[in-house]
Amino acid sequence: MRQAVKQVFFPAAAMVLAISLLFWGVGAIITGTMPPWRDSVGDVNHTEKITGTYLVEQSAGQEDTLLIFGSSELRTTEISTHPANFFAGKRAGFQVDLIGRGSCQSLIHALQIAASGDSLRGKRVVLITSPQSYVEGGIAPDLFMANFSVQGYLELLEDDTLSDEAKTYLSRRVAELLAAYQALPDAAPVDPAIAALAEHTAEPAFLSGIGNAVLSPYYAASRWLYSLKDKASVRGILTAGEDFSAPAELPAIDWATEEKAAIAEGKDMSGNNDFWMLDDYYTTYIGSRLERQRDRDTDLSYSRSKEYDDLRILFAVCREKGIEPLFIHVPLHGPWSDYTGFGADRRAEYYQNVREIAAEYDVQTLDLTGHEYEEYFMCDTMHLGWKGWLAVDKALIEYYYGG
């Protein structure tokens, strides 16, 4: 019997040790040979900035980079006043970093920032949320899953500086959205261990605590493997990037001239409609459907939404990280909202709800809601346009330099 144990145990132990050393060696090679951060990476809202943590951590370590957390408005780079274009070549002395894509709502950014460890502590960060996020249910389960980072969630739970209140709220939202997603037809598999971890963190119980303890080696191994996968996935992005040097003497910006150019570009790019929308957008999404969209939003309401509490946790996480963000309060497209039946009174209620939450957390806010009827301020039904981005650009400079 003893001989049999030796014949089985020692080879198995040797195999486990060999595999562990192999993984450790691969991990050491990947970590030790990572390319440095490149400025041009900031100009693209790479998915890896959402699904992982490495790119955000590296960007945060730059002295001349301003991180912008947003959603689908970040993709409108065909507009010259978009920050990626306006600040090209560090025109104002700094590089912007675009973080986010469609449906990256407050909860997604709260999870991202909570997972950042100390890398964002005390940094200047810009936050943009979209009006269409404030529907009653908040972020939809499938859209949440498209942007949810298991790696980020595991990282934030290991952060001893993050309050239990923040971890509990974030875990409760993760648990309920994972459950809602699993109930959808044709939902992709969800890691049951991660779902169990979120449920336990949201509502600790004796039995779930035992399960959590049993699974702790799995969580530790997963955290390590996700980190390696994250680094491996961004190597090509960093390798292909390039750096920019700020001008020795920063050129003065004539904002009146910039606005004239923005208006001229807006006219040129939105000539096929009366709503100052990008021609391609109008043709693709509205055009022949225009009449059918009249009064379609008469029953739409942003009065109650889980997004409001998600916005609160976003601001709360920033406060815990020592971040004093600049929050961009984006308007709706006034004429279009009137056309579709989402009236000025309901828009005003939404605007005020968000203002009060920002004031509750003493967040510096660029309130653009007074521009909802301004020509060329929006470029489609919901996203900032030529003059809208220009207003943001001016605010970014003031914010970056301590204004």
Q: At what angle do helices 106-114 and 306-320 cross, to 10 degrees?
A: 20
Q: Residue 207 has what pLDDT?
A: 73
Question: Nearest CA to 197 among 139, 155, 141?
Answer: 155
Instruction: Tell me what the pLDDT averaged over the chain comes to.
Output: 92
| Model pTM above 0.75 | yes
Calculated CA dihedral for residues 81, 84, 88, 93, nearest 10 degrees: 100
d(CA 153, CA 148): 8
What phi and psi, each to the nearest 5 degrees, are found at residue 69? -95, 120
CA 137-355-170 angle, 5° bins: 45
What phi and psi, each to the nearest 5 degrees, are found at residue 16? -60, -45
Express each pLDDT in 196-240 by its tens digit: 999 999 998 877 778 788 889 999 999 999 999 999 999 999 999
Tokens of 181: 């997603």
How far does the chain reach from its first CA to its final CA, in angstroms?
A: 77
Question: Nearest CA to 69 among 327, 311, 402?
Answer: 327
Q: Compute how many other C-beta atoms are within 10 angstroms of the C-beta atom of residue 235.
A: 14
Express each pLDDT in 325-344 by its tens digit: 999 999 999 999 999 999 99
Q: Where are the beta strands (DSSP E) in 358-400?
A: 364-367
Contact 46, 55 (CB under 8 A): yes
Coil, strand, or helix at residue 125?
A: strand
Place of tokens 């298991």: 150
Q: Which residue has the higher pLDDT, 245 or 14?
A: 245
Q: Which residues pair with 40 in a beta bridge?
A: none
- Lowest mean pLDDT segment, chosen from 13-17, 204-208, 387-391: 13-17
Instruction: Say which residues have a Cβ less than 8 Å from residue 115's Cβ, sequence separation at least 6.
Output: 53, 149, 151, 152, 153, 155, 156, 159
Q: Residue 20 has what pLDDT?
A: 43
d(CA 281, CA 266): 13
Q: Residue 29 has what pLDDT?
A: 63
Residue 86 clears pLDDT 90, i.e. is over it:
yes
d(CA 332, CA 382): 6
d(CA 225, CA 273): 51
Residue 25 clears pLDDT 90, i.e. is over it:
no
Contact 385, 392 (CB under 8 A): no
Q: Residue 210 has what pLDDT?
A: 85
